[in-house]
Amino acid sequence: MARIDLVDLAHSYAGNDADPESFALKPISMTWRQGGAYALLGPSGCGKTTLLNLISGIVTPSRGKILFDGVDVTSFSTRKRNISQVFQFPVIYDTMTVGQNLAFPLKNRGVAGPEIAARVAEIAELLDLTPYLDRKATRLTADAKQKISLGRGLVRSDVAAVLFDEPLTVIDPELKWELRSKLKALHRALDLTMIYVTHDQTEALTFADTVVVMHDGRVVQSGTPEELFDKPAHTFVGYFIGSPGMNIVPAEVRGREARIGGHVIALSRGYDKLPAGAAIEVGVRPEFVSVAPPAPGLLAANIERIDDLGRVRFARVRVGDAKLAARVPPGFSIPDSSAGLVFDAARVHVYADSRLVEGVL
C-alpha cells in the first residue's frame, strides 16, 4: 500500500519538445492517498491510459515525477515499483494451472513453498477460485480468467497499488455486476490502493471513492461520485456523468434569475459578478427538470420523444434551438407535444466559459 504523488507529471509520445497542446497528458499534480479507490474516467484519447501507464512504469514520463510513499520512482522499472496491473483482456500463463498462475509472482521473488501455498489459498478463497486451483487456466471462462489476473496481483502482500485498465471489457453484462461488487468488496477487505481506468461512468462511480474525470489530457474534476453528480465543476463533467448527461443551455444570467429563450427561471443563488465576455450557460440535470402541462409561468417546450426506461421516463424536448432532456412524472400524459418545464432551482448551476461559477446564497 502506498501513497502516490504526481508532481507536475506530463507526457508526450512525440517527445519533450512537442507542442504543449499536443501532449497526451498535460501537466498534473495530485496526491492519491494510501488505500483509496480511484477511478480515472473519460472518453477515448483523454489520457487516462497514458496516466495509468506512467504510474505502472510501462511508459517513462516526458516531464515530472512520481513518488510512492515519498520515494521517487520515476526512473524505476515496472518490476521495481511493485505494482500490479489487470488488463483489458485476461492475461494468464497458458501452461500453468490456476494455482500455479497465482503462485508465479511469489515464486519469482523466491518466497518459501509453504508460504506460497498459504497465500495462494487465501487469495483463491477471496476470489471464489478455490474449486479451480488444479485446473488448467486456459479452460476457464473469461471472468474467471480476469479473477486469476487480479489474484496474481493480490497475492503479493507488499504490492504498492493495483491498477485496472478497463478490466470488464470482455466480461458478459450479467457477470459484470458480480465482478464489480467483488472488486469493491476486495478493496474494503484488503485496504489496497486501487486505480481503475474506464470510459464507463457506472463502473467508475460504483467502484471509486474518488473519481478523476479527464478530458483531452487534463484532469477536469476530481471528487466523490456525489460531488461530481451534484456540483460538476465543468460542463464536460456535467455532460459526461449521468445518463442522460446534464442539460447545458446558453442563457442570460442576472442576479437571481436566468433567462432562457425569453422565459425567466429562478435560481437559488445570486450571480452578480460574471466574467465579462464569457459564454454564459446554465446547467441542470434531467433528473431535476420535469415536464408538466403547459402553463404561463413555465418555460414552454416541445416534446420530441419520450424514452421509457422502465423505472423512469425521460422526455427529449426542444426549447427554441436548444435541446433538453427532462423527467416525465409517472402517469403524465398530454394531448399534444407542447409542455411546460419545471426546474428545481437548487439544482441549477451557472457556467462561464464552461467553468462553474459559485453564486452567493
Partner 1 sequence: MDKTVNQKAWFLVLPVFLIVAFSAVLPLMTVVNYSFQDTFGNNQFFWNGVGWFKELLDPSTDLGSRFFASLWRNLFFSAVILAIEVPLGIVVALSMPREGWRVAACLVILALPLLIPWNVVGTIWQIFGRPDIGLLGYVLNNIGIDYNYVSNEFDAWATVIVMDVWHWTSLVALLCYAGLKSIPDAYYQAAQIDGASRWAVFTAIQLPKMNRVLLIAVLLRFMDSFMIYTEPFVVTGGGPGNSTTFVSIELVKIALGQFDLGKAAALSLVYNLIIIIVCWVFYTVMTNAGADRKPNQGAA
Partner 2 sequence: MSVALDHVTRMVDGVATIRDVSLTLERGALSVLLGPTLSGKTSIMRLLAGLDKPAEGRVLVDGKDVTGFDVRKRSVAMVYQQFINYPSLTVYENIASPLRVQGKLRAEIETRVRDAAKLLKLEPYLDRTPLQLSGGQQQRTAIARALVKGADLVLLDEPLANLDYKLREELRTELPRIFEASGAIFVYATTEPSEALLLGGRTVCMWEGEALQAGETPKVYRHPDTMRVAQVFSDPPLNVVGIEKTGNAVRYEAGMEAAASGLYAALPDGAYRVGFRAHQLELANGHVGRHVFPAEVTVTEITGSESFVHIKRAQADWVAVLEGVHEFLPGETIEVALDPGDVFVFDTGGRLVAAPGAA
Q: Would you tell me which residues interact with partner 1 (CB under 8 A)? A: 56, 58, 77-79, 83-85, 87-89, 91, 93-96, 104-105, 108-109, 138-142, 149, 152-153, 170, 172, 175
Query: How far is residue 202's CA from residue 73's CA, in Å, rounded to a whole number?
Result: 32
Which of partner 2, partner 1, none binds 181 (CB below 5-8 Å, type-dependent)? partner 2
Strands 349-352 and 355-357: antiparallel
Q: Which three cell numbers stand for residue 254?
A: 442576472
Nearest approach in angstroms of CB 267 to partner 1 is 50
Site membership for partner 2, residue 172 (CB under 8 A): yes
By rule CB under 8 A, what count of residues binds partner 2?
Answer: 40
The answer to whether residues 1 and 192 touch, using CB atoms and an 8 Å cutoff, is yes
Q: Is 180 in the site for partner 2 (CB under 8 A)?
A: yes
| Euclidean distance between CA atoms 28 and 259, whole angstroms | 37
Count the residues in the chain: 361
Query: Distance between CA 347 and CA 287 in Å, rounded?
Result: 10
Helices (H), ranges, 194-315: 201-207, 225-230, 235-240
| Binding status of residue 134 toward partner 2 by CB under 8 A | no
Interface residue with partner 2, options 131, 173, 330, 331 (CB under 8 A): 173
Q: Is residue 211 within 8 Å of 39, Cβ to Cβ? A: yes
Interaction of residue 13 with partner 2, rule CB under 8 A: no
x/- track of binding to partner 2 for residues 31-60 (CB under 8 A):
------------xxx---------------
Q: What is the phi/psi pair of residue 196, to 5°?
A: -125, 120
Contacts to partner 2 from residues 223-242, by CB under 8 A: 225-226, 228-230, 239-242
Tell which residue, 81, 46, 319, has the closest CA to residue 201. 46
Toward partner 1, which CB reaches closer, 49 or 235?
49
Best CA proximity match to 339, nearest among 321, 351, 325, 357: 325
**C-beta separation of 261 from 268 below 8 A:** no
Q: Smallest gap, in angstroms, from Cβ of residue 179 to partner 2?
A: 12
- Quick note: the x/- pattern for partner 2 over 240-269, rule CB under 8 A, is xxxxxx------------------------
Q: What residues make contact with partner 2 under the rule CB under 8 A?
A: 43-45, 172-174, 177, 180-181, 184-185, 188, 199-202, 205-207, 225-226, 228-230, 239-245, 285, 287, 305, 307-311, 316
